[in-house]
Amino acid sequence: MTMTSPASDREVSTADNQLITTDRLAANYGGIITRLNSLDARLSELPTRIDDDDTCGHWQDFIKELDDHAKAIEATREDVKAPFLAAGSIVDSFFKALATREPKRPGRAELIRARVAIIVENYLQRKATAERQRREAEARALREAEDRRRREAEEREAMARRAEERNRGAEAERQQFQADLAAKEAQCIADKAMYVEQSAQAPSADLARTRSAGGSLGTLTDKWQFEISDITAVKGAPIWAYVKREHKEAAIRAFMNANAPKQFGEGQEWQPLAGVRFYRVQKLQVRR
C-alpha cells in the first residue's frame, strides 16, 4: 500500500474518525447526562449557610450521590474507551516495530540505522582525531619556528651591541635591523601558532564535518555523560538550582507527608525548611 501523505503533513478532520463522535456518545449515554442534570437542578435548594446537623447531613448525602455518579461516569468512560485504547496499542505496536527510535525497543529501521551509524561514526571519530593531531603538530612546528626566530633576534641584538662597542656603526645598524626583522617574524609566527593551537581545541563537530555528494552532512557532537557511584554522597545544594519547580514541590510534599507531626496542638508551628511555610487546613471528607 502506498502512503500518499504522512499524518503530520495533512489536516486531520472529523471525517477521519468513523468509529465514534460526541453526538453518538451523547445519544448512547444520555442517561448519564439526564442524571447529572437532575443533580444540577437541586442546587437551587442549596442554602448559603448551614446551621444544624440535619441540614448538613442532607447535603453530605448529596455530595455522596455526586461522588457515586462521578464514579459511574468514570467507569463507563473506561469501558467505552478500552477497545479504542486496544486498537491504538495495535497501531502503535505495528508502526513502532518498523520505525521507532526508542532505545529499549528500537524498530527495524533504527536497527538498520544503528549498524550503519557505528561504521560512519567510527570514521568520523578517526577523522576528527587525525585532524586534531595534524593541527597540534602544525602548532608545535610553528612554536619551534618562533623559538628559532626569537633566538636569532637575540643573537642579532647581541651582535649589534658588540658592533656598537667597537664603533662599527654601520654593522651595528645592520644587525639591529636584522634583529628587529627576526622579532617581528617571530611575533607573526606566534600569532599564527596561537590560532592553530586554538583550532586544535575546536569542537569535534568542526573537525569531523563531512558533506556528501547527496547533500547529507555528517559530524560529531561532544556531550558529557555521567554515572552515579553513590547517590547518598551527592549533595543537593549544587544541583538544586537545576531542578524544575514541580519536582521541587514534589520533593517538599514527600518530605512533609513523611515527617509532619500527626498530633499537633493548636497554635503550634512546624517549620523545618527555610523558604517554605507549612500550615494545617481542614478539608471535607464524605464517606460511608
Written as nine digits, the cell of 223 is: 556531550
Whether 1 has a pLDDT exceeding 90, the answer reads: no
Amino acid 47 reads P
- The predicted-structure confidence for 213-263, as pLDDT tens digits, reads as follows 999 999 999 998 999 999 999 998 999 999 999 999 999 999 999 999 888
Amino acid 255 reads F
pTM, full prediction: 0.66
- CA pair distance 99, 239, nearest whole angstrom: 36
- The predicted-structure confidence for 131-189, as pLDDT tens digits, reads as follows 999 999 999 999 999 999 999 999 999 999 999 999 899 999 999 999 999 999 999 99
Q: Cell 593551537 belongs to which residue? A: 197
DSSP percent split of the chain into helix, strand, coil, nearest 5: 65, 0, 30
pLDDT at residue 104, rounded to an integer: 87
Which are the contacts of 175, defined by CB distance < 8 A and separation ≥ 6? 156, 157, 159, 160, 163
- Map out the domains of the chain as residue ranges: 21-44+51-99, 123-212
179: nearest Cα among 163, 196, 197, 199: 163
